[in-house]
Amino acid sequence: MKYSFQFIFGAFLTMMFTMGCEQTTPYAPAENELLDGPLEGLTIAQQIKFLSGDEAFGDVFTIEKGLGPVFVANQCASCHPGDGKGSPFVEFVRFGQPDTLGNQFLEFGAPQLQHKAIPGFEPEQLPEGATTTKLIAPAVTGLGFLNFVSDQDLINLSDPNDIDGDGISGRPHWNNIPDYVTLRPNTISQNGKYISRFGKKAAAYNLLHQTSGAYNQDMGITSLFETIDPYSGLEEDPEVSTQTVNDVVFYLNTLKAPLQRDEGATSIIAGAQIFSEIKCASCHIPSLQTGYSPIEVLSYKEFHPYTDLLLHDMGSELDDQYTEGFALTSEWRTPPLWGLGLSKDAQGGSYFLMHDGRAGSIEQAISLHGGEGEASKNSFAQLSEVEKQQLIEFLESL
């Protein structure tokens, strides 16, 4: 009985996975259309570590490997297909409350709703009184660059009190961080808090923090880093090895960054100009630099992510009344725009933009910008049709 369930479950997943691959790769894409692949210049030892991490990212968890008892999905890659953006078909729900006093629903399974369970167990239900947000997975490419931007650079980009008076006041997410993370070179702390930068609310300090959390909250897998099982609330032996977690972190650090396509085209150059003029570039910063990185190819490199990694108040329409760390409910971290034009390939042919995928096109995504993004949105509405087209073409080239 047990055997046959697992066999069918496994066969079903294999089928889903193969079907997924066939649908997303109907032809052999050019290098600059592919998201997955390592950075150039890795040593042989680093390439081997990258490959182990790549394999672990695609590893399907079964009951024997520790899946659940409650979970959201059974594989990193199922939500981050081809290392690209996920879609609402594999979204998840987080729940809590609007204030920043720490999640009051931890004993009810917060922050994440594990809506699936292995046989014999009940999936989680949303407790009464909790507020929720839906999140779709971001692409995971180029994250090593984002990881090694120095804290000081982020502080320099921020303007929490809007001293320059442009209506844009991004701030770093000063957050409590777990003991197990290794601090990044020259990290800066303020009253015991550190700048966290990954995730939609920038609540994770680094890729180890995000990855251990993903194993735990997305798949019900404990590690030496996140030891508490989300179902029992009790400490459990690690279900994934420290080496595997570290390999996945290395893989995420060394995935190449998306490359811009057709950047020399006249309309795309014009679009880039408009992007700056209407202040999109004030949050979606075109160029950043890494500081020192122990991974040599990531040290002191300029790159083009179109983010400032800061939190911005995006207005009431994007306020889900749910928060993490010390971010306000209306605050979101500027998402990188690199790979934007490729994201619909990973999303099944249509765009699903913004934190929950509610925008079906780039125009809709822009029209949802409120709060600190309001002025930029209004400037976009006043562009001529030709200018709008140039801006969109530029965004699709990223």
Residues that bind ligand HEC (CB under 6 A): 57, 72-73, 76, 78-80, 86, 90, 92, 135-138, 140, 143, 168, 198-200, 207, 210-211, 214-215, 218, 248, 252, 278-280, 282-284, 312, 314, 318, 332, 334-335, 337, 340, 353-355, 362, 365-366, 369, 372-373, 376, 380
Least distance in angstroms from the C-beta of 89 to ligand HEC: 10
**Residue with smaller CB distance to ligand HEC, 128 or 151:** 151
Least distance in angstroms from the C-beta of 120 to ligand HEC: 22
Least distance in angstroms from the C-beta of 34 to ligand HEC: 18
Taking a C-beta distance cutoff of 8 angstroms, is the pair 133, 320 a contact? yes
Taking a C-beta distance cutoff of 8 angstroms, is the pair 49, 247 a contact? yes
Buried b / exposed e across 129-139, counting CB within 10 Å, b at 16+? ebbebbbbbbb
Instruction: Residue count of the chain, please give it.
Output: 398
Least distance in angstroms from the C-beta of 28 to ligand HEC: 26
**Residue with smaller CB distance to ligand HEC, 171 or 200:** 200
Least distance in angstroms from the C-beta of 301 to ligand HEC: 18
**Residue with smaller CB distance to ligand HEC, 194 or 332:** 332
Q: How far apart (Å, rounded) are the C-alpha atoms in residues 359 and 375?
A: 19
**Residue with smaller CB distance to ligand HEC, 2 or 102:** 102
Q: How far apart (Å, rounded) are the C-alpha atoms in residues 253 and 180?
A: 18
- Which is nearest to 46 in space by CA: 291, 249, 302? 249
- Omega prior to 111 cis, within 30 of 0: yes
| Sign of the Cα pseudo-torsion (174, 178, 181, 183, in order) | positive
Least distance in angstroms from the C-beta of 32 to ligand HEC: 19
Burial class (CB in 10 A: 0-12, 13-18, 19+), 41: exposed
| CA distance to 155, 222, 230, 297, per residue, from 234 (Å) | 38, 10, 8, 40
**Residue with smaller CB distance to ligand HEC, 52 or 128:** 52
Least distance in angstroms from the C-beta of 96 to ligand HEC: 13
Burial class (CB in 10 A: 0-12, 13-18, 19+), 348: middle
**Residue with smaller CB distance to ligand HEC, 34 or 365:** 365
**Residue with smaller CB distance to ligand HEC, 27 or 134:** 134
- For residue 165, what are its two tokens? 């008076």
